[in-house]
Amino acid sequence: MKAIRIAALLALTAAAPALAENPMVGGAPMFEDKNIVENAVNSADHTTLVAAVQAAGLAETLSGPGPFTVFAPTNEAFAKLPAGTVETLLKPENKDQLVKILTCHVVAANAMAADIGKMIADDGGMHTIKTVGGCEFTAMEKDGKIMIKDGQGNVATVTIADVKQSNGVIHVIDTVLLPAM
């Protein structure tokens, strides 16, 4: 009887779809069957980003079907901005500017790191990324890491790549990307 239960359990396990293990982000597991917002709210490293997404009214959009590639700045990335910047952006009267900055972190595609790396290689070492917010950034690769140069010359490095979501992928970055002035 015990052997039959074990055999049944093994058969069920073998029939279950195999999901690759997503990396932990901000001390929390990231589940491939949850959307970008559902996962981001659990990351201790992305509380500022989550607050900004909510203040901008983008949570519903980023919970939608996508696909989206989100370059997700950490709390430390936001802390690099000049003092008071985040607080100012979170004010209701600055919502349009906040929406612009946040949507410049989103691409309407499901672009894994290998895909981005191939685009960089195919374009001779640099690839232009067009974002949902209308920004154009430059992706490049250095020492095996994907880097993105924003409209003001700041360079963000992807520190955790390929965090699969039900509606796209997150790449954690160490610098907030800003549109050209």
pLDDT computed for residue 3 by the predictor: 45
Better-scored residue on pLDDT, 91 or 4: 91
Q: Specify if 3 maps to a domain.
A: no
- The residues that bridge with 71 in the sheet, in sequence order, are 171
Residue 115 lies in a domain: yes
Strands 145-149 vs 155-165: parallel, antiparallel or unpaired: antiparallel
Residue 83 lies in domain: 21-173
121-137, pLDDT tens digit by residue?
A: 999 999 999 999 999 99
Confidence grade of residue 20 (pLDDT, cut at 50, 70, 90):
low
Residue 123 lies in a domain: yes
Is pLDDT of 145 > 60?
Answer: yes
Helix (H), strand (E) counts: the chain:
8, 7
Burial of 32 (0-12, 13-18, 19+ CB in 10 A): middle
**% of the chain surpassing 90 pLDDT:** 69
Average pLDDT of the segment spanning 142-150: 94
Structural domain total, the chain: 1
72 touches 40 (CB < 8 A): yes
> Is there a domain that residue 179 lies in?
no
pTM of the model: 0.86
**Is residue 55 in some structural domain?**
yes
pLDDT at position 10: 42
| CATH code of 47's domain | 2.30.180.10
- C-alpha 85/C-alpha 162 separation (Å) is 29
Distances from the Cα of 29 to the Cα of 75, 86, 114, 133, 148, angstroms: 18, 27, 22, 29, 25
Assess whether pLDDT exceeds 50 at residue 1: no
The single-letter DSSP state of residue 94 is G
Nearest Cα to Cα of residue 29 among 130, 181, 156, 160 = 160
Model confidence at 15: pLDDT above 70: no
**Exposure letters 71-88 (e unless 16+ CB within 10 A, then b):** bbbbbebbeebeeeebee
What does the mean pLDDT of the chain come to? 87
User: What is the rounded distance in angstroms from the CA atom of residue 94 to the CA atom of residue 11?
Assistant: 55
Pairwise pLDDT comparison (94 vs 8), residue with the higher score? 94
- Whether residue 32 is predicted with pLDDT greater than 90 in this model: the reply is no
pLDDT band at 23 (very low <50, low <70, confident <90, very high): confident
Whether 61 is in a domain gets the answer yes
> Is 181 within the bounds of a domain?
no
Q: Taking residues 30-53, report their average pLDDT.
A: 89
| 6 falls within a domain | no
